[in-house]
Structure 1
Amino acid sequence: MFSKWRERRRRNREIVDRLYEAVIERARRPRLFEECGVPDTVMGRFEALSLQMFLFLRRCRTSDALRPIAQDMVDRFIVDMDDSLRQIGIGDQSVPKRMRKLTGRFYERVDIYDKALASADPHAALIDGFSGRALDAECPRDVAGKLARETLDEEARLAAVPESAILSGSLSEEGR
């Protein structure tokens, strides 16, 4: 009885790990940093990952079957952030405070980006939402527009990924 439970749990963890790696891969696309204005810094990489996580979670929101995976991905994201803080030398006593701050930043962005995508003009709303967050406040509007377009394209790409592919650990439209 317990062996089946352990096996299912291990398989679920493998699926979440594959999905998380796919999200990280999408967040590390050079285009985001070279053309779309995301700073190539520790915080810029956090912003790129936060944006990609937001888009993944938004995709999962469309399906009851994907909601448990979404929660597992949030948990995986939080563990990764905690590990990253420790790897860059943040002391054990400071990590919880930094994690509260990063988690707050993430959920602030989720709220702002979600409202932007639900607005009458998502492109313009995303440009405004990125200012001072994923992009420096002084970032030219045309560069911010590239990130907004990239975000809308990524949302559409994720919408085309079948639920069955996500449940098997893939963010590919072909399900591999």
Structure 2
Amino acid sequence: MVLARLFRRKPFLREGYELYTAAVTAARDPALYTVLAAPDTLEGRFDLICLHVGLLIRRLRLDADPAGKDLAQAVFDAMFNDMDLNLREMGVGDMGIGKRVKRMWEAFHGRAKAYEEALEAGDEAALADALLRNLWGGHEMDPPDAPARLAARAFALSAVLAGQGMAALKAGQVDFPVMEQA
């Protein structure tokens, strides 16, 4: 009985990876780096992944379907399995992986909490401030309204995600519209 639980497939494992991959693809939208001048660095990419995955996980957790929480967990697990793998591919030794993944988890959790609070309050300015702090590190950027524009996009993405049916999400299908280049 105990061994059976150890080898049982986690719920929505494949679907979690598919949803996570879609969020990463959305975070790599070239317009984020050209139009909004998001930093094209490891940290900048991580922050944009945190934003998109955070929006997706929020959508899943808020669904009335009890499977939403399992699917959200599957997306989270996929994200941190991928982070672990990427660190290993970058040459981080086994002894340093745990500490780095823990720091990434803490960073993701803090960002997701700040973003969710702003979304719940309907406060685009608070979300823009959080994005300025996290993505741009408080530095000035060109265009100067980039955090506000990204916050507006996050609110729009949240609405788009809310309109997507749970049946498609359970099948690992999600749509993140690309950002316009203009």
Measured against the shorter chain, the TM-score band is: 0.7 to 0.9
Identity between Structure 1 and Structure 2 (%): 31
Confirm whether residue 165 of structure 1 aligns to residue 175 of structure 2. Answer: no
Q: Is the 8 A contact 2:11 2:74 kept in 1?
A: no
Q: Is the 8 A contact 1:85 1:95 kept in 2?
A: yes
Query: How many positions carry a matched residue from both structures?
Result: 166
Deviation at 1:56, TM superposition (A): 0.3
CA distance in 1, matches of 2:126, 2:95: 38
- What TM-score do you get using the length of structure 2 for normalisation? 0.84
CA distance in 2, matches of 1:158, 1:105: 23
- What TM-score do you get using the length of structure 1 for normalisation? 0.86
Confirm whether residue 124 of structure 1 aligns to residue 118 of structure 2. Answer: no
Deviation at 1:139, TM superposition (A): 3.1
CA distance in 2, matches of 1:124, 1:11: 37
Match of 1:145 among 142, 145, 148: 148
Distance 1:11 1:111, change over 3 A: closer
SS in 1 for 2:133: coil
Aligned position for 1:115? 117
Aligned position for 1:96? 98
Structure number with higher relative contact order (C-alpha < 8 Å, ≥ 6 residues apart): 2
Aligned position for 1:70? 72
Q: Cα RMSD (Å) of the superposition?
A: 2.1
Confirm whether residue 82 of structure 1 aligns to residue 84 of structure 2. Answer: yes
Deviation at 1:16, TM superposition (A): 2.0
Q: Is the 8 A contact 1:37 1:139 kept in 2?
A: no
Q: Is the 8 A contact 1:112 1:129 kept in 2?
A: yes
SS in 2 for 1:139: coil
Aligned position for 1:55? 55
Deviation at 1:164, TM superposition (A): 0.6
Q: Is the 8 A contact 1:15 1:168 kept in 2?
A: yes
CA distance in 1, matches of 2:116, 2:12: 27
Structure 1: 4+ residue segments shifted above 4 A = none
Deviation at 1:10, TM superposition (A): 8.6
* Structure 1 portions without partners, runs of 5+: none
Distance 1:139 1:37, change over 3 A: farther
CA distance in 2, matches of 1:68, 1:88: 30
